[in-house]
């Protein structure tokens, strides 16, 4: 029988960090200079508890661009601003393909789900706001509500991803061709790229995860950011699609809804309102942080977080 789960409020995140040290596999993303320059040894862990307290390891205040870990929050804001209408514009089925696959849903031409690039390009275009600047402002305000504080954006990352995101431009044009995207393709990529360039540290990302896990209320500020039903919808889709073509493996091993990113961040939304984040840049073949995956498995085991028990 497994030992009884540890108390998250006393959990030793530093000891967990030490257990990750031997895991040295994976490759740092090199799609843009800022990501290629990431420190492969950076390793940060944070837990955000339902009472608003945070347990952070060493380096839990080191910032990286949020990248695809922003996608659940873009989906949440799109659901909020369209009163659920976003669910007619984007699918919710896993793809079994990589994050930037040039694939849309057969028959409808919709993005397959909001956790792949096609979906996030669309959800970022569905938030309220006049023109790309208005939508960028709305996203910044929305992310600040999830985080409980204003977040900076790395302008160089935003610029480079806008400029170099050829696959994202291709996807946006495809969405236009299918009549699914109202914004111009270039505006859609610009807004999405800026959202991806938002800077977060592990502590902030953990609080954002806890806000989703806690039914939409930020545990730090006490503010309701999204309705409970929206939070449930977002966490459900994280569970099935959050790790792209690694989602099945992740659910079996970790059993906690989560979202990965190319900067090496992972945001987790566990039952009972617990949020967690790991940031470690070297990635596996699915674009998931290698140490982040190991850390999440250990965390799930230690705290008894697996959705299906045992």
The answer to whether 244 is a known ligand-binding residue is yes
Is residue 296 within the footprint of ligand GLN (CB under 6 A)?
Answer: no
Is the separation of the CB atoms in 95 and 112 below 8 Å? Answer: yes
3-state helix, strand, coil in the chain (%, to 5): 50, 10, 40
CA distance linking residue 293 with residue 268, whole number of Å:
11
Q: Which is nearer to ligand GLN, 100 or 187 (CB)?
A: 100
Tokens at residue 130, please?
């006049």
How far is Cα 109 from Cα 275, in angstroms, rounded to an integer?
34
Is 280 one of the binding residues for ligand GLN (CB under 6 A)? no
95 binds ligand GLN (CB under 6 A): no
Q: How far is the CB of 261 from ligand GLN (least distance, A)?
A: 4
**14: helix, strand or coil:** helix
| CA-wise closest residue to 189 among 212, 215, 214, 161 | 161
Determine if residue 262 is labeled as part of a ligand binding site. Answer: yes
Nearer to ligand GLN, 67 or 204 (CB): 67
Alpha-carbon distance of 139 to 36, in angstroms, equals 26
Residue 168 found at the interface with ligand GLN (CB under 6 A): yes
100 lines the binding site for ligand GLN (CB under 6 A): yes
Interface characters, 127-166, with ligand GLN (x: CB under 6 A): ----------------------------------x---x-
Question: Using the rule CB under 6 A, is 117 a contact of ligand GLN?
Answer: yes
Q: Is 11 annotated as ligand-binding?
A: no
In this chain, which of 67, 113, 125, 204 binds ligand GLN, going by CB under 6 A? 67
Nearer to ligand GLN, 105 or 160 (CB): 160
Q: Which of residues 223-262 bind ligand GLN (CB under 6 A)?
A: 261-262
For ligand GLN, the binding residues in 11-50 under the rule CB under 6 A are: none
Least separation in angstroms between CB 102 and ligand GLN: 12
The annotation status of 289 as a binding-site residue, yes or no, is: no
Contact by Cβ (8 Å): 241, 286 = no
Q: Does 196 bind ligand GLN (CB under 6 A)?
A: yes
Q: Which is nearer to ligand GLN, 65 or 218 (CB)?
A: 65
Residue nearest to ligand GLN as judged by C-beta position? 68
Q: How many residues does the chain have?
A: 310
Q: Report if residue 99 touches ligand GLN, rule: CB under 6 A.
A: yes
**73 is a contact residue toward ligand GLN (CB under 6 A):** no
* Neighbour count for residue 152 (Cβ, 10 Å): 11
Q: How far is the CB of 161 from ligand GLN (least distance, A)?
A: 5
**Cα end-to-end distance, the chain, whole Å:** 9
Nearer to ligand GLN, 117 or 296 (CB): 117
Binding to ligand GLN by residue 287, rule CB under 6 A?
yes
CB atoms within 10 A of CB 47: 28
Of 240, 241, 211, nearest to 227 by C-alpha is 211
E strands, 95-198, in order: none
Tokens encoding 264: 């090496």
Rounded Cα distance between 203 and 186, Å, is: 33
- 16: Cβ contacts below 8 Å, ≥ 6 apart: 45, 57, 295, 298, 299, 302
- Residues of the shown chain interacting with ligand GLN in the complex, contacts defined by CB under 6 A: 67-68, 99-100, 117, 161, 165, 168, 196, 261-262, 287
Residue numbers belonging to the annotated binding site for substrate: 68, 117, 161, 168, 192, 244, 262
């Amino acid at each position: 029988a497994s030992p009884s789960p540890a108390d998250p409020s006393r959990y030793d995140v530093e000891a967990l960090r030490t257990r990750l040290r031997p895991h040295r596999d994976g490759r740092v993303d090199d799609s843009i200079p800022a990501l290629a320059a990431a420190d492969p040894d950076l390793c940060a862990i944070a837990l955000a508890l339902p009472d608003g307290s945070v347990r952070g390891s060493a380096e839990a205040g080191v910032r990286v661009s949020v990248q695809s870990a922003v996608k659940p929050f873009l989906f949440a804001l799109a659901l909020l601003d369209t009163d659920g209408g976003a669910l007619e514009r984007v699918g919710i089925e896993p793809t079994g393909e990589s994050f930037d696959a040039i694939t849309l849903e057969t028959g409808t031409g919709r993005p397959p789900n909001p956790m792949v690039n096609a979906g996030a390009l669309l959800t970022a275009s569905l938030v309220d706001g006049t023109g790309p600047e208005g939508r960028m402002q709305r996203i910044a305000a929305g992310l600040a509500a999830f985080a409980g504080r204003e977040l900076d954006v790395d302008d160089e990352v935003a610029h480079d991803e806008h400029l170099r995101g050829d696959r994202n431009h291709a996807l946006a044009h495809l969405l236009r061709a299918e009549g699914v995207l109202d914004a111009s393709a270039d505006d859609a990529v610009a807004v999405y790229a800026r959202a991806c360039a938002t800077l977060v540290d592990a502590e902030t990302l953990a609080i954002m995860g806890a806000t989703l896990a806690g039914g939409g209320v930020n545990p730090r500020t006490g503010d309701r950011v999204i309705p409970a039903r929206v939070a449930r919808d977002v966490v459900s889709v994280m569970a099935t699609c959050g790790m792209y073509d690694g989602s099945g493996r992740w659910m079996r091993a970790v059993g906690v809804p989560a979202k990965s990113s190319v900067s090496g961040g992972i945001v987790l939304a566990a039952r009972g309102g617990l949020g967690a984040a790991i940031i470690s840049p070297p990635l596996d073949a699915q674009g998931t942080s290698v140490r982040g995956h190991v850390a999440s498995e250990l965390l799930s085991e230690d705290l008894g977080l697996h959705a299906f028990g045992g």
